[in-house]
Chain A
Amino acid sequence: MNAAPNSAQISGPAEAPLLPSRLRNARALWVVLIIMAMLAGCALLFARGSMRLSGDWQAQLSDTLTVQVMLESSEDWDAQTRRAGAALADAAPGADIELVSQEDAKALLRPWLGNASLPDDLPVPGLINLTGQNISAAQIQTALDGAGITANVDDNSRYADQLRGTARRLVGIGLGTLLLILIAGLSVNIFATRAGMTAQKDIIRVLVQVGASDKFIARLFVGQALRRGALGAAIGLSLATLLWMILSITNDWGALGWTGLGSGLKDLIWLLALGVIFALICAAAAGVTAARQLAYERKRL
């Protein structure tokens, strides 16, 4: 008999995991989890980007008013527009006032009237854009009425509502996709746990024989799934981050992508939370599935 190691030699490394860490077919599961985490990350980033974009649009529109000056004749177009501009400067002293030229105003009609040259006597309204904070449309309308100028003040609220609706739908699509991916992740883990329990039935039999409770065995699968989910999420979400970074740099996505450190950092915190949720979903699916499967096997005895 060879020299036996003493107990001090044995007690070095940590206890080996009771479930084998490398399983056949586990590589395919890793790939699925990484892709799911990456897609979930992209869906979250899309939803977050849509929210940012919506906020950006809202901010831009809420600070802008468009005044349509109804002109009596086209001969004194510039003069009448300038007079309206002066009245606006009095009514909103801090605002930035932009008088749209007659040519540019006509150009805005082209989408409706086509590219044919427009008649000179076409009654094109004078257009003035006002940009500034806390401009009241009602106040501007009163000032113009007081100056005897017939004009419509548009605070873009109808356009803003449409944009808000569109942005909400984009956010909904992003979050809906994220939810579907998480549900799919749950299903994949249920399936993987069942397959794992079948593959490791000999180990489970031994554990049951030496007195391991269902809770103890389920915890082993929870630990395995948690590690798998956390690592899958780390890799998948890192890939999503990299992809979003590249797309933000190479495309003019505006607020949908990352325009600066602030938006990127906030999104990274959300991604971190998503990673935790992803790993917890994997663990919960494994725990519930293992417990139910063990209870079912016991009933079948």
Chain B
Amino acid sequence: MSSLPDLVNFERVALRYGRGPEVLSDATLDLPQGSFTFLTGPSGAGKSSLLKLCYLSLIPSRGLIRMFGRDSALLTNSERQAIKRRIGVVLQDFHLIDHLSVYENVALPLRVSGEPRASYNDDVVELLQWVGLGHRIQAYPPTLSGGEKQRCAIARAVIAKPDLLIADEPTGNVDPIIGRRLLRLFSEMNRMGATILIATHDTHLIDELDARVLRIENGKIFTGKPS
């Protein structure tokens, strides 16, 4: 695994919001291609901020971030968006679009990249059935439970078969059975070559897989589970 190039590489990265204290300081991280990594740490340690840097939603205050071998600071807007299309993101607050059906929400990344509906229709339906939303395909997000929203957000993140999947507490709102099923989905994606980074508090989830674990404490990244 170590012989493969890094998909994400942080070198002494720091992040602060406005004039506040540094949320991350001298964070160094590498995610080799095809790796499966859990990111853990106490609330407020900077997990979500680190993930935002990984999916190019924030720019670091200092330090170097390489994404897919490219210095993120030198990316043009179109290159940045092209890289974003290679990243699937699952956020804690789901970010579903309320006036679009579950089907439309999940198909969104494919629609944005200009693919015709006929080419992805079957994939979207199949994936929704896999995540247990087959019966809610035409429902709208405001009518979904928290767990259903979570699964819809996950389906949207993986539908375009991203090279990198970033998930922030992806199993936080689902029951253990669905949680295990989602983990199997992530494992399957990883087996097919995707790089997975999951931020979670759930130690049971971490124990389910033999994957690398990073922990974040006081803005710094360490390897291994918390003691």
Q: Judge: A and B partners, yes or no.
A: yes
Residues of A near any B CB (own CB < 8 A): 1-7, 10-11, 15-16, 18, 20, 202-203, 205-214, 216, 298, 301
15 contacts between A and B (CB under 8 A): A1-B132, A4-B134, A7-B126, A20-B99, A202-B95, A208-B81, A208-B84, A209-B57, A209-B95, A210-B85, A211-B84, A213-B78, A213-B81, A214-B77, A216-B112
CB <8 Å contact, B81 and A211: yes
In the assembled complex, which residues on chain A have CB atoms less than 8 Å from the CB atom of B129?
Answer: 4
16 additional contacts, CB 8 Å, given A210-B84, A211-B113, A216-B112?
A1-B134, A4-B129, A4-B137, A10-B121, A10-B124, A10-B137, A11-B117, A11-B118, A207-B112, A210-B112, A210-B160, A211-B81, A211-B109, A213-B77, A213-B81, A301-B58
Digitize B41-84: 1 where CB-to-A-CB distance is under 8 Å, 0 elsewhere. Answer: 00000000000000101110000000000000000011001101
CB <8 Å contact, A10 and B82: no
Distance A7 CA – B137 CA, assembled complex (angstroms): 10
Distance A40 CA – B59 CA, assembled complex (angstroms): 47
Also in contact, A10 and B112, with CB within 8 A (given A298-B77, A301-B58): no
Also in contact, A2 and B135, with CB within 8 A (given A202-B95, A211-B113, A301-B59): yes
Q: Chain B nearest CB: distance from A50 CB in Å? A: 48
B residues 114-158 with Cβ under 8 Å of A? 117-118, 121-122, 124-126, 128-129, 132, 134-135, 137-138, 156
Q: Does B97 contact A (CB under 8 A)?
A: yes
CB <8 Å contact, B77 and A10: no
Interface of B, secondary structure class, is helix
Distance A11 CA – B119 CA, assembled complex (angstroms): 11
Digitize B182-206: 1 where CB-to-A-CB distance is under 8 Å, 0 elsewhere. Answer: 0000000000000000000000000
Which of B2-10, B28-36, B100-108, B208-216 is the contact stretch? Answer: B100-108
Also in contact, A210 and B125, with CB within 8 A (given A1-B135, A4-B134): no
In the assembled complex, which residues on chain B have CB atoms less than 8 Å from the CB atom of A20?
Answer: 99
Distance A202 CA – B134 CA, assembled complex (angstroms): 26
Distance A209 CA – B104 CA, assembled complex (angstroms): 16
Q: Does B39 contact A (CB under 8 A)?
A: no
In the assembled complex, which residues on chain B have CB atoms less than 8 Å from the CB atom of A205?
Answer: 95
In the assembled complex, which residues on chain B have CB atoms less than 8 Å from the CB atom of A213?
Answer: 77-78, 81
Distance A212 CA – B109 CA, assembled complex (angstroms): 8
Set A10, A11, A206: member contacting B97, Cβ < 8 A: A206
In the assembled complex, which residues on chain B have CB atoms less than 8 Å from the CB atom of A11?
Answer: 117-118, 121
Distance A290 CA – B71 CA, assembled complex (angstroms): 28
Considering only CB atoms, which chain A residue lies closest to B132 in the complex? A1
Q: Which of B59, B77, B82, B160 has the most CB of A within 10 A?
A: B77
Q: Does B165 contact A (CB under 8 A)?
A: no
Set B82, B100, B101, B128: member contacting A211, Cβ < 8 A: B82
CB <8 Å contact, A211 and B125: no
